[in-house]
Amino acid sequence: MPSLAKTLILFGATGDLARRMLLPSLYGLHADGLIAPDFRIVGTARSGEDDASFRAMAEAALERHVLPENRSADSIAAFLDRLSYVELDASRPESFGRLADALGPRAGDGIAIFLSTAPQLFEPTIAGLAAAGLAGDNVRIGLEKPLGFDLASSRAINDAVAAAFPEDRTFRIDHYLGKETVQNLIALRFANSLFEPLWNAAGIDHVQITVSETVGLEGRVDFYDGTGALRDMVQNHMLQLLALVAMEAPARFDAAAVRDEKVKVLKSLRPIDAASIGSHSVIGQYRAGAVGGAIVPGYADELGRASDTETFVALKAHIDNWRWKGVPFYLRTGKRLPARQSEIIVQFRGVPHSIFEGRRLTANKLVIRLQPDENIRLLVMAKEPGLDRDGILVREVPLDISVPNAFAGVRRRIAYERLLLDLVEGDPTLFVRRDEVEAQWRWIDGIRAGWKATGMIPGGYAAGTWGPTAAIALTERDGVSWHD
């Protein structure tokens, strides 16, 4: 059983992620008594803050991002007392000595480190921590994405981390895995005998995964134009969702068993190469249009120059194993789409023979919505009320489980609350292992190589629409429509 960390060192503590997510999440754990009274949080960044100014920044972040009913003046004051700050420039090795000095005797107790910095700072940060004696057996490290931009760079980052932190003390974060509905997918599959007999190629026609955004660049100009939708969303979030949908039942719910099964799925993904890239992928870039009734500029206008970066990607993927032989997985993500939503659609096969003459039957469909609201909906056929003098009338009706309503007495948590608590407690189950990351990058690199080999460039789509028209054709060639 891993030891509890008594100190959390938060790199990038003055950044946007810390203000919006990390500090509010840590406050939620504090308010619910889930971290020990002597637990301390040490923030660090290049900015010249001190303890007082860092606490003032944290207080403002809590006022803005924590609901009034979930905070109180006394609880906030007690939380702020846990905070301290050390100015640190990761590019200057001597800075890390100040961090070790600030920790004092606590450096010998359990330490958890959350690294939310630019990827180019990972290697000097790891080296600085090791040189300052902050990479020992009592220290574990959490890494916020992006972890590279291709397989080679990801391996370089992982090698640098592994030089000081072995795999069992390295926690790679994908915040989607901290969402309640993502974890509920595991419960839905493996705690109910209802679905397992049908959860295969004999029972499922296809699967759709959509992660759509209404926003454009939103201040991420330099990062996004060097990344694109495939590497920003598909490589991590969407492939993790695919793996959870498709994996075999683990022998038990623990880190090794769960991640072993996910890796098997990722390694079974059929490569999309130059021969299949045209029929199995669509890329697009948004132009000027309207989202939510507001006129918005095109990507090139926001960027200030022409670019071949894709802001939309749709893929047709296959998993070459017995369970999923012949079942397509359609993935779709993009910016400036009509709605912000993350959904998994499991389309079951229809009944083999209808006894309702002349009545059109719709095959059952399971809709798992991750955001903006968490919901699980099973669409089934039911009889319409009436005397049925002309035969039984049937139509599709939803069976809904609204997660907030079903668990009304339980506070909805930020995904990072679960992940930060797991990091502090040393539970790696919901974190991504190195072989997972590299299997994901290997598949993604093959797709990008296919685009390059065929000269494929993004097609235009108007902001506020569901991407290029070719994305519709991607599924409709198979008699399938996107679930919008």
Q: Which residues are annotated as a binding site?
A: 12-19, 46, 145, 175, 179, 213, 232, 335
CA distance linking residue 296 with residue 293, whole number of Å: 9
- Catalytic one among 30, 206, 237, 318? 237
Q: Provide the 10 A C-beta neighbour count for residue 53.
A: 13
C-alpha 361, offset from chain centre? 35
CA distance linking residue 242 with residue 426, whole number of Å: 25
∠ CA 116-370-414, rounded to 5° = 45
Q: Which residues does the annotation place in the binding site for NADP(+)?
A: 12-19, 46, 145
Beta-strand relationship, 170-173 and 139-144: parallel
Which tokens hold the place of 276?
A: 């299949």
Peptide bond just before 271 cis, omega within 30 deg: no
Of 390, 391, 395, 384, nearest in space to 355 by CA: 391
Whether 424 and 134 have beta carbons less than 8 Å apart is answered as no
Name residue 394's amino acid. Answer: V
Q: Which residues does the annotation place in the binding site for substrate?
A: 175, 179, 213, 232, 335
Using CA atoms, how far residue 145 sits from 12, 16, 172, 237, in Å, is: 13, 14, 8, 11
Q: DSSP letters of 52-94? A: HHHHHHHHHHHHHHS-GGG--HHHHHHHHTTEEEEE--TTSTT
Beta-strand relationship, 111-115 and 328-334: unpaired
280 labelled catalytic = no
Rg, the chain, Cα only: 24
Which tokens hold the place of 285?
A: 């870039």
Whether 31 and 71 have beta carbons less than 8 Å apart is answered as yes
- The residue ranges of DSSP E strands in 126-244, in sequence order, are 139-144, 170-173, 204-212
Whether 331 and 314 have beta carbons less than 8 Å apart is answered as yes
What is the DSSP code (8-state) at residue 357?
A: T
Encode 419-434 in three state secondary structure: HHHHHHHCCCCCCECH
What are the catalytic residues? 237
